[in-house]
Amino acid sequence: MKPAEGSTVIGKSVVIRGELSGNEDLYIDGDVEGTVTLPEGRLTIGPNAHVRADIHSREVVIFGQLTGNVQATGRVELRQSANVKGDILAGRLSIEESAVLTGRVELKPATDAPKASTPAVTVPVPAEATTPLFSQPKA
């Protein structure tokens, strides 16, 4: 996994404690604890990342470990290697096979979307869940 061109990168040997905010895309592959706020940006949590933070972003893509809640005005993607412990509030959600999610999911249309769109959906996931949310039988 390579960061998108033009993204700010926090490398895998970097440790940050505190509050991160900005208006550009951010790729985290290190250790971050606190809050991450990117209202106009895309946050990518890389495969080596250990993030313990609440996330507020336009889009979020997760390959690594996240402990914290995610609020995204757009799409949240949990890739195959993702391990998320926390609640997700987003406009759209994509979960690849083998991704692990322990928490609740609430999907809401964008605030500028027409009122006639699909209503919000809440999917509770038991706290003791340790297996992927969706899995395919092995062939």
The per-residue pLDDT for range 60-91, each reduced to its tens digit, is 999 999 999 999 999 999 999 999 999 999 99
User: 65-67 and 83-85 as β-strands: parallel, antiparallel, unpaired?
Assistant: parallel
Query: Is 73 inside any structural domain?
Result: yes
User: Residues 122, 125, 131, CA angle at the centre, nearest 5°?
Assistant: 140
Query: Is 96 inside any structural domain?
Result: yes
Percent pLDDT > 70 in the chain is 74
Distance of alpha carbon 26 from alpha carbon 20, whole angstroms: 10
Distance of alpha carbon 115 from alpha carbon 117, whole angstroms: 5
| The pLDDT value given to residue 118 | 45
Scored b (16 or more CB within 10 A) or e, 33-64 reads: eeebbbeebbbbbbebbbbebbbbbbbbbbbb
| The pLDDT value given to residue 134 | 52
Q: How confident is the model at residue 110 (pLDDT cuts 50, 70, 90)?
A: low
Query: Is 134 inside any structural domain?
Result: no
Query: Is 93 inside any structural domain?
Result: yes
| The pLDDT value given to residue 4 | 63
Average pLDDT, the chain: 84
Question: For the chain, where are the alpha helices, taking DSSP H only?
Answer: none
Q: What is the largest CA-CA distance in the chain?
A: 47
For 81, the domain range is: 8-109
Query: Is 30 inside any structural domain?
Result: yes
Query: Is 55 inside any structural domain?
Result: yes
Structure-derived torsion over alpha carbons of residues 92, 118, 97, 134, reported in degrees to the nearest 10: 130
User: 105-107 and 121-123 as β-strands: parallel, antiparallel, unpaired?
Assistant: antiparallel
